[in-house]
Homo-oligomer: A and B are copies of this chain.
Amino acid sequence: MSLKLTILGFNSAVPTAFTHPTSQLLNIAERYFLIDCGEGTQVQLRKAKAKFNRINHVFISHLHGDHVFGLIGLISTLQLLGRDMPFHIHGPKGIEEFIMTQLRLTESTCSFKIIFNELSSKKSVIVFEDDMVEVISIPLNHRVYTNGYLFREKKKARKLNIDAIAEFPEIEICDYQNLKNGKDYTLESGEIIPNNYLTFDEQKSLSYAFCSDTRYKPDIIPLIKEVDLLYHESTFLHELKELAMYTGHTTAKEAGIIAREANVKKLVIGHFSNRYHDYSVLLDEAKQEFPNTILPEILGTIKIKVNS
């Protein structure tokens, strides 16, 4: 089992010939989730050779152009590709009007259903869940209503140790679910066989937290505690801390502190101001606080494997 994050764009503000606004494609528990969708995202998806029709959910952090202006184009393309599966859009209140007004005024007919999940809570809520994965909002502190998202695999069942079970003929198939759930087994003699003798440990559940855009906000730490991968915005160096505060952003040093305090496994920083051309200065600053920090690469994929 693995978690794969493909970076489609990681810059702030305006797209240029060589930089792309925020968008990421997350593959977790065999689901493909699109996170944010700045202008040009559909072209980046093509370059990443993504299968458009495997993307059923998009999660928008906030309604600023560099995170959402590519969404209408993507929807339009899905229509031209003949999509018929529903398409789920999770994002701040207002996103339905934002998209539906554009569809109405361009006289677009949609062959598929768009299901909006508008968020307005200032508390962390479950945004989406199915049998394998859950997505939880991370309330952030930007200039407009903004959420990050925590994606995590649900706790997996323990795997049966068939050889060990075979030693106890009185254990029947109908008992297996209890064993997978972690229960000990009591023999007719009254002897208790500990669950960890009859099963293997469950596979670790992987998790990814996306946090952009936000001021330094340490109260998210309990929510993102020990995630396998954290993406945290680092728009400025700490020497521009006041500008970061004023514009609703975080410094590289602060992103590193968040990662360290949350005891995450790995930090990837992004959403860099266009003033920086050499991102290594941002990387170095974050690493001072949290050594296992990396820079994103355009169309690069970060893979997190169980036990990696």
Contact = CB atoms under 8 A, between A and B. Distances in A.
Interface of A: 13-17, 39-40, 42-43, 46-47, 63-66, 68-70, 72-73, 76-77, 80, 94-95, 97-98, 101-102, 105-108, 143-144
Closest 7 CB pairs of A and B: A39-B73, A65-B76, A14-B77, A101-B101, A98-B105, A94-B105, A69-B73
Given A97-B101, A101-B97, A15 B73 contact: yes
Contact of A63 (B39, B70, B107, B144): B107
Contact of A80 (B14, B63, B72): B14
Contacts of A17: 43, 46-47
A42 B19 CA distance: 12
- Number of this chain's copies in the complex: 2
Contacts of A13: 80
A69 B74 CA distance: 10
A14 B65 contact: no
A95 B101 CA distance: 11
A73 B39 CA distance: 7
A12 B230 CA distance: 39
A80 B64 CA distance: 13
A262 B217 CA distance: 65
A91 B77 CA distance: 23
A60 to B, nearest CB: 11
B107 A144 contact: yes
A209 to B, nearest CB: 24
A39 B98 contact: no
Given A40-B40, A101-B97, A106 B64 contact: yes
A68 B101 CA distance: 14
Contacts of A144: 106-107
A106 B145 CA distance: 10
A16 B46 contact: yes
A144 B107 CA distance: 8
13 contacts: A14-B42, A14-B73, A15-B42, A16-B43, A17-B46, A39-B42, A63-B105, A63-B107, A68-B106, A94-B105, A97-B105, A106-B144, A107-B144
Nearest to A102: B98
A97 B106 CA distance: 11
A63 B70 CA distance: 16
Given A14-B80, A47-B17, A80-B14, A39 B105 contact: no
Nearest to A81: B14
Nearest to A14: B77
Nearest to A19: B43
Nearest to A144: B107
Contacts of A94: 105
A69 B68 contact: no
A90 to B, nearest CB: 16
A106 B65 contact: yes
